[in-house]
Amino acid sequence: MRNYRSARPLGRAFTAAGLVGISALSLAPLPAAIAQEASEAPPTGLEEIIVTSRYREENLQTTPLTISAFTGEALELRSLDNLEDIAVVVPNMFIRPNVSNFGPNNTVGLRNVIQVDFLYAFEPATGVYIDDVYHGTLTGSSIDLLDLERVEVLRGPQGTLFGKNSIGGAMRMVSRQPQGDDTGYVEATYGNYDRMDIKGVYDMALSDTLALRVSGVSKHQEGYMEALDFTCDMVRRGTPELAGIGDGVVGYNPDPDGPFGPGRATPIPGVVGSPEDNAFSFPEGQPTNQESCVTGTMGGEDIQAGRIMLRWFPSDNFEINFAADRSDSSEEAPGDALIRGDDPDLFNNWLGDSYLVRWGVSPFLADNRFVPENYYQSYATWADPITGSIWDRHYKHEAEGWSLSFDYDIGENTNMEVIIANRNYLSDWTSDSDFSPFEITTTNNLEDHDQDTYEIRFSGTAANDRLEWTAGAFYYDAASFLGGRVELAQFNFIGFIPEFDQNDKFWTENKSAFFHLVYDLTDRLSVSGGFRSTDEDKKYTFDHTGFLTVTDPLFYGISRDDWKVGVDYAFTDNIFGFVSVATGYRSDGANPRPWTPGQLLPAPGEELENTEVGVKADLLDNRLRINASVYQADYDPRLYSLFGFQCEAFNSPDPGPFYAFGTLPPGNICPPGSGNAGFPAFNWFAYFATSGVTDGVEVELSAYPTENLSIDYSLGVNSFEGDPGPGDPAYIHPTALLQPERNMSAGIQYDFNLTNGGVVSPRLDWFYQSKRTNGPLTVEQVCPQFCNPEYDYFNLRLTYLNANRDLQISLASTNVTDEFWWYQIGADTNTAGIPSRPLTGVPSAPRMWNLSLRKSF
């Protein structure tokens, strides 16, 4: 048991480790002066890094896992302040902003195991843990890194000690524990786009055995994209007729033989520029600046968050920790861009009936009127000008949670830890993913999630301390709700998809038991093994009022066992190697987009068996650290989806065989013998299981060649190959990339010691990601039409620390050279070479800078 009054705080070891730059598991370097204060001795090389990824304190360099570990200070020095930012420095990790209709949720992938869809019907692929409390959904996993001691990223399946949905790996955020040392800091940050952050932390003793730590943050920044008023901008750009001004149209009348087809509205010509002409136009909003036509911004944030932690030692062998946190965020809609406009054939028919009749807006005719002058602008309004409905363009997320843990030394060699926790959030957001002033595609999502977790772990040693063991049980109970209005005006117009209200409910209960053993055969050779048995039950009630309501809920779930075995050997005191084989799983899901009651079916879960070989070496008199691993994983089953058709009757409980797109006769007429023979088939988004192999190489390097110079580097290389061959519906072409094949990062920092005892530390970081593909998975991914190009960028930071070590001033810039790239972009054409309509993308953030001042006490 560690008494906070007498024991050396864990955080101190991690701060000193920050000297090395990124350890491979690595850390970005801290100024030497900071590290000296933390370690209370001048640095002489790479420092020991302590991790707890196996629920015990271990030296990272002798832990047989592939781990990236970062201190809070290390991430700050690289200008990485959110969980999603960490992916740029972790080999083979992929976290990127999603397209607008997926809201404030990221695409998250690790070693080619990826999750895109935020719906509760699907499970995350990478487990996220906050102080050993599991966060069960993709929504809300983009967490601000506030007052963290460290972040550990475990790559590869973690099916035994962590279990639930950690098939790609696990991310562990470990908060700084109260020390009762009457320390803290206040920090203020100002930057472009009206950025203003305030952070504060204070740690104090309430008694000889009780410590309190309080932390809080307030962050505000305007968005880097502009929302424009369409009519105002058409006038500014000299094309007012595209908004119905000066186009000579003063009214309309129905004409069954008109140019827009039978029953379509036709214009009534009048005097160009007359009051009647100009009045019969799309209404102008209220731009905040008439010259620029700006109505607001996109991509900004406004966040307030706080946490309180209590640490109590009732006795020398008993520790109780309580933590509670809350965050409120109001983020502006993400910065999506319209690159090419909508399908003119469908759009013109809808325009004729819906907008020409009201405002005389001329036919679309593929003129790209809704594509602004640059990618950092949008005509999205989050409004329906016909009904007058206005949606809030801010993505609001309220989250809170608490945890209570009991840590008790039962005897000299046995410890028990109990963790009880609750986390819940309410997320409300609307996407205007057509990026036009009309209501074409608007989806409102209200997400309500509440989860309880209970975990008990026993650990200890036996056999003269040669055997280390851990055993425990885990329980997870969650209830989730997805509501909100979905309005797809174009599709509703042609009767394809009616507008509807979501009222979906989800419930999950997960129970598991696990153990893990490590046995030292010799002082250098160890074997390890683990096992976890899981039983999970789920219920899904589907209700899309106005479209489809399924009266009977779907019950589904899994029962499975996971295992891990490994061997590790210390070749020398500084070179360590390991081999392991491990399994992991992602829970089964459900079809969240059925078109008939029978299509509400379970979606297969996923399994992965990973074989890994790794080496960790500290060389050159402890000044060079190289950690590397190679892995190969059998990914079977792997979930995939296809769009096709059902030919059984609408109310049939069994939807029957799946007919892939293009396999039915023209008009998608059902074949003889089917329940819907002779009539058009029902649409069907179906989910199937396939298989494949993913493999890769990962390298992380840290160098400390001189007392004041630190260098770090990371590299991830991966590939995926699907097993089904050409012609199989699940076929994936070898050129299709589920995530980029390579990602790299590098950083260099030098600490200049000043004569007054202060230190100035400039740092430069470089990040690289290779191309992605975005075409249909079954065809060759020819660039540029099916490629999201590679990109790289630099972050720069200059830090000053005074002689008393209580004042820090930092000037930082992200994307310092103002590079442009696409985080996400659609395929430029279809397989026939016809340009995609619409074509959208998520542009990178431009160069940003900030100045921060921190006062410690």
* Average of per-residue pLDDT across 737-753: 94
117: confidence class by pLDDT, cuts 50, 70, 90: confident
> Which residue did the predictor score with more confidence, 689 or 308?
308
What confidence score (pLDDT) does residue 696 get? 96
Beta carbons within 8 Å of 625's beta carbon, 6+ residues apart:
20, 23, 24, 26, 46, 61, 616, 617, 618, 619, 701, 702, 703
154 - beta bridge partners? 67, 170
- Cα separation of 77 and 801, whole Å? 13
201: confidence class by pLDDT, cuts 50, 70, 90: very high
- Virtual torsion, Cα 135, 136, 140, 143, nearest 10 deg: 30
* Average of per-residue pLDDT across 130-145: 86
What confidence score (pLDDT) does residue 14 get? 28
Residue 688 has pLDDT above 50, yes or no: yes
SS3 39: helix
- pLDDT tens for 448-488 read 999 999 999 999 999 999 999 999 999 999 999 999 998 87
Residue 165 has pLDDT above 80, yes or no: yes
Q: Which two tokens stand for residue 367?
A: 């003129």
- Cα separation of 617 and 285, whole Å? 63
Angle between helices 10-17 and 32-39 (to 10 degrees): 150
- Cα separation of 607 and 689, whole Å? 10
Among candidate residues 107, 140, 85, the one with its CA nearest the CA of residue 429: 140
* Average of per-residue pLDDT across 622-634: 96
- Quickly count: other Cβ atoms within 10 Å of residue 114's Cβ: 17
Pairing relation of β-strands 389-390 and 383-384?
Answer: antiparallel
21 contacts 626 by C-beta, under 8 angstroms: no
* Average of per-residue pLDDT across 490-512: 82
- Quickly count: other Cβ atoms within 10 Å of residue 413's Cβ: 13
- Cα separation of 480 and 426, whole Å? 10
362 contacts 352 by C-beta, under 8 angstroms: no
599: confidence class by pLDDT, cuts 50, 70, 90: very high
SS3 224: coil
- Cα separation of 437 and 474, whole Å? 50
- Cα separation of 571 and 577, whole Å? 7
- Report the percentage of the chain scoring pLDDT > 90: 63
558 contacts 614 by C-beta, under 8 angstroms: no
Among candidate residues 23, 67, 61, 69, the one with its CA nearest the CA of residue 571: 61
Name the E strands within 264-413: 265-269, 294-298, 301-315, 318-332, 337-340, 377-378, 383-384, 389-390, 394-409
What confidence score (pLDDT) does residue 409 get? 95
- Cα separation of 739 and 109, whole Å? 8
Q: What is the DSSP string of 653-674?
A: SS--S-EETT-SPTTTBPPTTS
What confidence score (pLDDT) does residue 141 get? 78
Among candidate residues 477, 197, 501, 247, the one with its CA nearest the CA of residue 359: 247
- Cα separation of 247 and 239, whole Å? 10
- Cα separation of 716 and 354, whole Å? 51
Name the E strands within 663-789: 682-703, 709-722, 742-750, 752-753, 759-769, 772-773, 787-788
Domain ranges of the chain: 10-178, 225-298+336-375
Which range is least confidently modeled, 29-33, 465-469, 686-690, 763-767? 29-33
Q: Which two tokens stand for residue 373?
A: 């002058």
446 contacts 391 by C-beta, under 8 angstroms: no
Query: 3-class secondary structure for 234-278?
Result: HHHCCCHHHHCCCCCEEEEEECCCCCCCCCCEEEEECCCCCHHHH
pTM of the entire structure?
0.90
Query: How many helices (H) and strands (E) are present in the chain, helices listed first?
Result: 8, 50
Q: What is the CA radius of gyration of the chain?
A: 29
Residue 90 has pLDDT above 60, yes or no: yes
- Quickly count: other Cβ atoms within 10 Å of residue 685's Cβ: 14
Q: Looking at 29-155, list the stretches that DSSP marks H as alpha helix, in order from N- to C-terminal side.
A: 32-39, 72-77
- Cα separation of 161 and 606, whole Å? 18
Pairing relation of β-strands 225-228 and 377-378?
Answer: parallel
- Quickly count: other Cβ atoms within 10 Å of residue 216's Cβ: 18
Average pLDDT, the chain: 87
Beta carbons within 8 Å of 602's beta carbon, 6+ residues apart:
554, 556, 588, 589, 590, 591
Among candidate residues 117, 86, 219, 189, the one with its CA nearest the CA of residue 743: 86
Q: Which fold has domain 10-178?
A: Ferric Hydroxamate Uptake Protein; Chain A, domain 1 (2.170.130)
* Average of per-residue pLDDT across 71-88: 83
Residue 278 has pLDDT above 50, yes or no: yes
* Average of per-residue pLDDT across 843-855: 96
